[in-house]
Amino acid sequence: MSDVLARRGFEPVMLKALGAAFIVFIVAYILIPVLVTLVMSFNDAAMIRFPINAWSLKWYQDFFASPQWTDALKSSVIIATGTAIISTVSGILAAWAFERFPIPFKNALYLLIMLPLFMPGVVLGLGIAMTFGGVQIAGVNLYGSRALVMIAHSLWAMPLVFMLMEATFRTVDYRVVEASYDLGANPLRTFIEIVVPMVSTGVISSALFAFVISLNEFVMALFLTDRDTQTLPVLMWLSLRSAGTPRLAVASVILALTVFACLAIIMVWYVRQLRKVSRN
């Protein structure tokens, strides 16, 4: 009997230790490359070299003084912002429709929405490039434009927004929605003034996730951008093939800091909403 009790007490301790070790491993696996990249961005050498012999900010100055690199960063931010808007709006509307209304062939439509997530980026990028390669709108080539990259990135971002918002809409108290209808509010006003504030955490999280996905996407952007619209990851890849300078580390740090900033905003917003709920 004592052996059984001892084993019962030992198993939770062992599971906790394994869980803690796994968490430490995951954190180290994520943070060590980021920290090494951060250190390399302060390298004074002309090539990426570790360990560092001399520290300098010259590659940060070089990055922001280069029109090519700052234009690529600008393109990445513009494309990511457009992708976030397209994906968030379309994903929210699709999730709301799936949650509230009877839709014919709903299961088939659900699979169709989720299908791009399982498609390789090279397949999507090449397919879109071949499809829209010769298309012009008002005399402007669609291929090579930022708009086409936004639409392509939305193929990955929109399904994630859809999944997140579909789960979020299931937490809505629809008695409040029906009460708004009974008081004379139309569906659009009810959705904007009642539903959206109730799911604001999901909306903010969805938009930031879509932004990050587009900001870091490389494969489709490689197929769909030209020299004037290439994104920062594409320029990093092209530069890596010719010269591996610490400028690449600077670009990596900028992308990583943007991701961490988005995650911080999500966490702050989530904690803020929890405090509101607890006060009520």
CA angle 56–58–61, rounded 5-degree value? 140
- Write the pLDDT tens digit of every residue in 240-264: 777 677 888 889 999 999 988 988 8
Q: Locate the domains of the chain by residue range.
A: 67-279
Give the pLDDT score at 9. 55
Contacts of 147 (CB under 8 A, 6+ apart): 82
Nearest to 88 by CA among 23, 164, 2: 164
- Roughly what angle, to the nearest 10 degrees, separates helices 247-279 and 2-40? 130
Neighbours of 103 (CB within 10 A): 13
Among 20-29, 63-72, 133-142, name the one with the lowest average pLDDT: 133-142
Tokens coding 273 = 């909403």
Q: For the domain 67-279, what is the CATH superfamily, name and number?
A: MetI-like (1.10.3720.10)
DSSP secondary structure string for all residues of 254-265: HHHHHHHHHHHH
Q: What's the predicted TM-score (pTM) here?
A: 0.86
Greater confidence (219 vs 31) lies with 219
Task: For residues 70 and 89, give the distance between their C-alpha atoms in angstroms, rounded to a whole number.
Answer: 29
Percent with pLDDT over 70 in the chain: 93
234 within 8 A of 218, measured Cβ to Cβ: yes
Q: Which helix (H) or strand (E) holds 140?
A: strand 140-141
Confidence of residue 11 (pLDDT cuts 50, 70, 90): low
Give the pLDDT score at 212. 93
Task: For residues 74 and 78, give the distance between their C-alpha atoms in angstroms, rounded to a whole number.
Answer: 6
Kindly state the average pLDDT of the residues 44-62.
78
Most confident range, picked from 4-8, 97-101, 214-218: 214-218
Residue recorded with tokens 């070790």: 21
- Write the pLDDT tens digit of every residue in 74-101: 999 999 999 999 999 999 999 998 888 8
Give the pLDDT score at 3. 55
Kindly state the average pLDDT of the residues 121-145.
82
DSSP secondary structure string for all residues of 222-272: HHHB-TTT--HHHHHHHHHHH---THHHHHHHHHHHHHHHHHHHHHHHHHH
Task: Categorise residue 144: left if φ over 0, alpha if ψ from -120 to 50, beta otherwise.
Answer: left
Tokens coding 156 = 């990955």
Task: For residues 133 and 98, give the distance between their C-alpha atoms in angstroms, rounded to a whole number.
Answer: 34
Q: What is the DSSP letter of 118?
A: G
180 within 8 A of 194, measured Cβ to Cβ: yes
Cα–Cα distances in angstroms (integers) from residue 22 to residues 16, 18, 19, 92, 141, in the given order: 10, 6, 5, 35, 50
**DSSP 3-state assignment of 144?**
strand
Look over the chain and give the mean of its residue pLDDT values, rounded to a whole number.
85
Give the pLDDT score at 5. 45
Kindly state the average pLDDT of the residues 94-113.
88
Q: What is the DSSP letter of 117?
A: G
Give the pLDDT score at 89. 94
**DSSP 3-state assignment of 52?**
coil
Nearest to 150 by CA among 75, 202, 92: 75
